[in-house]
Protein backbone atom coordinates (compact mmCIF):
# COMPACT_ATOMS: atom_id res chain seq x y z
CA UNK A 1 0.00 0.00 0.00
CA UNK A 2 2.83 2.40 0.82
CA UNK A 3 4.38 1.80 -2.62
CA UNK A 4 1.03 2.50 -4.30
CA UNK A 5 0.58 5.72 -2.33
CA UNK A 6 4.12 6.76 -3.26
CA UNK A 7 3.34 6.31 -6.95
CA UNK A 8 0.09 8.27 -6.58
CA UNK A 9 1.91 11.07 -4.75
CA UNK A 10 4.74 11.09 -7.30
CA UNK A 11 2.70 11.19 -10.48
CA UNK A 12 -0.03 13.49 -9.22
CA UNK A 13 2.66 15.89 -8.01
CA UNK A 14 4.56 15.75 -11.30
CA UNK A 15 1.38 16.12 -13.31
CA UNK A 16 0.28 19.11 -11.26
CA UNK A 17 3.71 20.72 -11.23
CA UNK A 18 3.02 23.66 -13.52
CA UNK A 19 -0.44 24.21 -12.02
CA UNK A 20 0.92 24.28 -8.47
CA UNK A 21 3.71 26.63 -9.52
CA UNK A 22 1.49 29.24 -11.17
CA UNK A 23 -1.26 29.08 -8.55
CA UNK A 24 1.25 29.49 -5.70
CA UNK A 25 3.05 32.34 -7.43
CA UNK A 26 -0.13 34.21 -8.37
CA UNK A 27 -1.53 33.69 -4.88
CA UNK A 28 1.54 35.26 -3.30
CA UNK A 29 1.38 38.19 -5.71
CA UNK A 30 -2.22 39.12 -4.91
CA UNK A 31 -1.88 38.99 -1.12
CA UNK A 32 -1.14 42.73 -1.26
CA UNK A 33 -3.93 43.34 -3.77
CA UNK A 34 -5.50 46.18 -1.78
CA UNK A 35 -2.13 47.82 -1.14
CA UNK A 36 -1.30 47.63 -4.85
CA UNK A 37 -4.65 49.21 -5.68
CA UNK A 38 -4.02 52.12 -3.30
CA UNK A 39 -0.44 52.58 -4.49
CA UNK A 40 -1.10 52.54 -8.23
CA UNK A 41 -4.48 54.31 -8.12
CA UNK A 42 -4.57 56.41 -4.93
CA UNK A 43 -7.97 57.74 -3.92
CA UNK A 44 -9.23 59.91 -1.06
CA UNK A 45 -8.23 59.22 2.53
CA UNK A 46 -10.97 58.07 4.90
CA UNK A 47 -11.00 57.71 8.67
CA UNK A 48 -11.13 54.31 10.31
CA UNK A 49 -11.00 53.24 13.99
CA UNK A 50 -7.24 52.77 13.60
CA UNK A 51 -6.67 56.12 11.87
CA UNK A 52 -6.67 57.55 8.35
CA UNK A 53 -6.63 54.98 5.56
CA UNK A 54 -5.92 55.66 1.89
CA UNK A 55 -8.43 54.21 -0.53
CA UNK A 56 -8.11 53.17 -4.16
CA UNK A 57 -9.91 55.07 -6.90
CA UNK A 58 -9.53 52.20 -9.38
CA UNK A 59 -8.14 48.72 -9.69
CA UNK A 60 -5.12 48.30 -11.99
CA UNK A 61 -5.73 45.98 -14.92
CA UNK A 62 -2.73 43.82 -14.11
CA UNK A 63 -3.86 43.28 -10.51
CA UNK A 64 -7.38 42.42 -11.69
CA UNK A 65 -6.06 39.97 -14.25
CA UNK A 66 -3.78 38.29 -11.73
CA UNK A 67 -6.62 37.91 -9.21
CA UNK A 68 -8.96 36.46 -11.83
CA UNK A 69 -6.25 34.12 -13.04
CA UNK A 70 -5.69 32.85 -9.51
CA UNK A 71 -9.42 32.45 -8.89
CA UNK A 72 -10.47 30.72 -12.12
CA UNK A 73 -7.44 30.62 -14.41
CA UNK A 74 -8.98 33.39 -16.49
CA UNK A 75 -11.53 30.95 -17.84
CA UNK A 76 -14.79 31.79 -16.07
CA UNK A 77 -16.81 28.89 -14.70
CA UNK A 78 -14.83 26.35 -16.72
CA UNK A 79 -11.60 27.67 -15.25
CA UNK A 80 -13.14 27.61 -11.78
CA UNK A 81 -14.11 23.97 -12.30
CA UNK A 82 -10.55 23.11 -13.39
CA UNK A 83 -9.19 25.04 -10.44
CA UNK A 84 -11.39 22.98 -8.12
CA UNK A 85 -10.11 19.73 -9.61
CA UNK A 86 -6.54 20.97 -9.22
CA UNK A 87 -7.19 21.89 -5.59
CA UNK A 88 -8.73 18.47 -4.99
CA UNK A 89 -5.62 16.84 -6.46
CA UNK A 90 -3.45 18.92 -4.12
CA UNK A 91 -5.53 17.61 -1.21
CA UNK A 92 -4.72 14.08 -2.41
CA UNK A 93 -0.99 14.87 -2.54
CA UNK A 94 -1.16 16.25 0.99
CA UNK A 95 -2.83 13.12 2.34
CA UNK A 96 -0.57 10.67 0.48
CA UNK A 97 2.51 12.74 1.31
CA UNK A 98 1.67 12.68 5.02
CA UNK A 99 1.29 8.90 4.94
CA UNK A 100 4.49 8.11 3.03
CA UNK A 101 6.45 10.69 5.06
CA UNK A 102 6.14 8.62 8.24
CA UNK A 103 9.62 7.08 8.75
CA UNK A 104 8.79 4.96 11.78
CA UNK A 105 8.63 5.56 15.51
CA UNK A 106 12.42 5.46 15.91
CA UNK A 107 13.33 7.90 13.14
CA UNK A 108 10.50 10.40 12.91
CA UNK A 109 12.35 13.07 14.91
CA UNK A 110 15.20 13.08 12.41
CA UNK A 111 12.76 13.82 9.59
CA UNK A 112 11.74 17.13 11.14
CA UNK A 113 15.01 18.99 10.45
CA UNK A 114 17.73 19.28 7.83
CA UNK A 115 21.16 17.75 8.45
CA UNK A 116 24.69 18.58 7.37
CA UNK A 117 27.19 16.27 5.79
CA UNK A 118 24.73 14.46 3.53
CA UNK A 119 24.81 13.97 -0.22
CA UNK A 120 23.01 16.39 -2.54
CA UNK A 121 20.44 13.72 -3.33
CA UNK A 122 19.73 13.13 0.36
CA UNK A 123 19.59 16.88 1.06
CA UNK A 124 16.96 17.41 -1.66
CA UNK A 125 14.87 14.57 -0.26
CA UNK A 126 15.20 15.87 3.30
CA UNK A 127 14.31 19.40 2.18
CA UNK A 128 11.20 18.13 0.42
CA UNK A 129 10.14 16.13 3.48
CA UNK A 130 10.83 18.93 5.97
CA UNK A 131 8.99 21.58 3.95
CA UNK A 132 6.10 19.20 3.37
CA UNK A 133 5.81 18.31 7.05
CA UNK A 134 5.95 21.81 8.53
CA UNK A 135 3.68 23.37 5.90
CA UNK A 136 1.30 20.43 5.52
CA UNK A 137 -1.67 21.94 7.35
CA UNK A 138 -1.26 25.32 5.65
CA UNK A 139 -1.11 23.83 2.16
CA UNK A 140 -4.01 21.51 3.02
CA UNK A 141 -6.05 24.54 4.16
CA UNK A 142 -5.30 26.43 0.93
CA UNK A 143 -6.25 23.41 -1.16
CA UNK A 144 -9.41 22.60 0.82
CA UNK A 145 -10.70 26.17 0.60
CA UNK A 146 -9.87 26.08 -3.11
CA UNK A 147 -12.17 23.06 -3.39
CA UNK A 148 -14.84 25.00 -1.49
CA UNK A 149 -14.63 27.98 -3.85
CA UNK A 150 -15.21 25.72 -6.86
CA UNK A 151 -17.64 23.24 -5.32
CA UNK A 152 -19.49 24.88 -2.39
CA UNK A 153 -22.62 22.75 -2.62
CA UNK A 154 -21.26 19.66 -0.80
CA UNK A 155 -20.14 21.86 2.10
CA UNK A 156 -23.50 23.64 2.22
CA UNK A 157 -25.34 20.32 2.04
CA UNK A 158 -23.33 19.04 5.00
CA UNK A 159 -24.20 22.17 6.96
CA UNK A 160 -27.90 21.69 6.15
CA UNK A 161 -27.69 18.05 7.18
CA UNK A 162 -26.13 19.01 10.50
CA UNK A 163 -28.80 21.66 11.01
CA UNK A 164 -31.56 19.06 10.71
CA UNK A 165 -33.90 21.34 8.82
CA UNK A 166 -34.05 25.13 9.06
CA UNK A 167 -32.97 25.25 12.70
CA UNK A 168 -29.24 25.77 13.24
CA UNK A 169 -27.49 23.42 15.64
CA UNK A 170 -24.16 23.82 17.42
CA UNK A 171 -22.60 21.48 14.87
CA UNK A 172 -23.90 23.41 11.85
CA UNK A 173 -22.93 26.76 13.40
CA UNK A 174 -19.45 25.41 14.09
CA UNK A 175 -19.09 24.21 10.49
CA UNK A 176 -20.30 27.53 9.07
CA UNK A 177 -17.99 29.51 11.34
CA UNK A 178 -15.07 27.23 10.45
CA UNK A 179 -15.66 27.68 6.72
CA UNK A 180 -15.89 31.46 7.11
CA UNK A 181 -12.69 31.56 9.16
CA UNK A 182 -10.79 29.29 6.74
CA UNK A 183 -11.85 31.45 3.79
CA UNK A 184 -10.48 34.54 5.52
CA UNK A 185 -7.34 32.60 6.41
CA UNK A 186 -6.91 31.52 2.78
CA UNK A 187 -6.31 35.11 1.67
CA UNK A 188 -4.55 36.26 4.85
CA UNK A 189 -5.66 39.87 4.39
CA UNK A 190 -7.75 40.05 7.57
CA UNK A 191 -4.99 39.44 10.10
CA UNK A 192 -2.60 42.34 9.69
CA UNK A 193 0.57 43.15 7.79
CA UNK A 194 2.72 40.47 9.48
CA UNK A 195 0.44 37.66 8.28
CA UNK A 196 0.31 39.16 4.79
CA UNK A 197 4.11 39.16 4.55
CA UNK A 198 4.24 35.63 5.95
CA UNK A 199 1.61 34.47 3.43
CA UNK A 200 3.64 35.90 0.55
CA UNK A 201 6.69 33.91 1.66
CA UNK A 202 4.93 30.69 2.61
CA UNK A 203 2.82 30.86 -0.52
CA UNK A 204 5.96 30.06 -2.50
CA UNK A 205 6.66 26.86 -0.55
CA UNK A 206 4.53 24.70 -2.90
CA UNK A 207 6.81 25.93 -5.71
CA UNK A 208 9.80 24.66 -3.74
CA UNK A 209 8.03 21.35 -3.12
CA UNK A 210 7.45 20.98 -6.85
CA UNK A 211 11.09 21.75 -7.69
CA UNK A 212 12.49 19.36 -5.08
CA UNK A 213 9.93 16.71 -6.03
CA UNK A 214 10.89 17.04 -9.70
CA UNK A 215 14.58 16.67 -8.82
CA UNK A 216 13.77 13.55 -6.78
CA UNK A 217 11.80 12.17 -9.73
CA UNK A 218 14.77 12.83 -12.01
CA UNK A 219 17.32 11.08 -9.79
CA UNK A 220 15.07 8.26 -8.66
CA UNK A 221 13.01 7.44 -11.76
CA UNK A 222 13.99 9.17 -14.97
CA UNK A 223 17.78 9.09 -14.77
CA UNK A 224 18.00 5.36 -13.86
CA UNK A 225 15.65 4.62 -16.77
CA UNK A 226 17.86 6.57 -19.15
CA UNK A 227 20.96 4.82 -17.81
CA UNK A 228 19.36 1.41 -18.39
CA UNK A 229 18.58 2.31 -21.98
CA UNK A 230 22.05 3.69 -22.72
CA UNK A 231 24.54 1.21 -24.32
CA UNK A 232 27.40 0.11 -22.08
CA UNK A 233 30.84 -0.94 -23.27
CA UNK A 234 32.73 -3.64 -21.43
CA UNK A 235 32.86 -7.35 -20.91
CA UNK A 236 29.51 -8.98 -21.45
CA UNK A 237 27.86 -5.76 -22.67
CA UNK A 238 30.02 -4.75 -25.63
CA UNK A 239 27.91 -4.33 -28.78
CA UNK A 240 28.86 -6.46 -31.76
CA UNK A 241 30.94 -4.82 -34.44
CA UNK A 242 28.03 -5.03 -36.83
CA UNK A 243 25.98 -2.87 -34.46
CA UNK A 244 28.58 -0.09 -34.28
CA UNK A 245 28.74 2.85 -36.70
CA UNK A 246 30.99 2.30 -39.72
CA UNK A 247 33.34 5.06 -38.61
CA UNK A 248 33.93 3.14 -35.40
CA UNK A 249 34.58 -0.20 -37.07
CA UNK A 250 36.82 0.93 -39.88
CA UNK A 251 40.10 2.29 -38.57
CA UNK A 252 42.76 1.68 -41.26
CA UNK A 253 46.30 1.39 -39.91
CA UNK A 254 47.61 3.91 -42.44
CA UNK A 255 45.46 6.65 -40.82
CA UNK A 256 47.34 6.21 -37.54
CA UNK A 257 50.67 6.54 -39.35
CA UNK A 258 49.54 9.75 -40.97
CA UNK A 259 48.34 11.14 -37.65
CA UNK A 260 51.81 10.72 -36.24
Give domain limits for the chain. 2-25+75-226
pLDDT value of residue 136 = 92
Instruction: For residue 165, give the 3-state DSSP assignment.
Output: coil
| 3-62 tens-digit pLDDT | 788 888 878 888 888 888 899 999 998 898 887 777 777 766 666 555 565 566 667 788
pTM of the model: 0.75
| 131-164 tens-digit pLDDT | 989 999 999 999 999 999 999 999 999 998 898 7
Contacts by 179-185, CB closer than 8 A, 24 or more apart = 179/148, 179/155, 182/141, 182/144, 182/145, 182/148, 183/145, 183/148, 185/141, 185/145
Burial bucket for residue 164 (CB in 10 Å: 0-12, 13-18, 19+): exposed
Average pLDDT of the chain is: 81
At 230, the pLDDT band (50, 70, 90 cuts) reads low
Residues in CB range of 84: below 8 A, 6 or more apart:
146, 147, 149, 150, 151
Amino acid sequence: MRRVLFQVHLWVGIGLGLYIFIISLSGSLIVFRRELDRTICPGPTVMSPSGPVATASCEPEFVTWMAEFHDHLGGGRTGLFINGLGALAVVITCVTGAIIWWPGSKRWRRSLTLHRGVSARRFIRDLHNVLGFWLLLLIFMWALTGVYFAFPNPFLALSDALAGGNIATPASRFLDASIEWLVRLHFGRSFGLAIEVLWVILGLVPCALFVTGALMWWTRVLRPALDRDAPTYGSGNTPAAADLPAATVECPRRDFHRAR
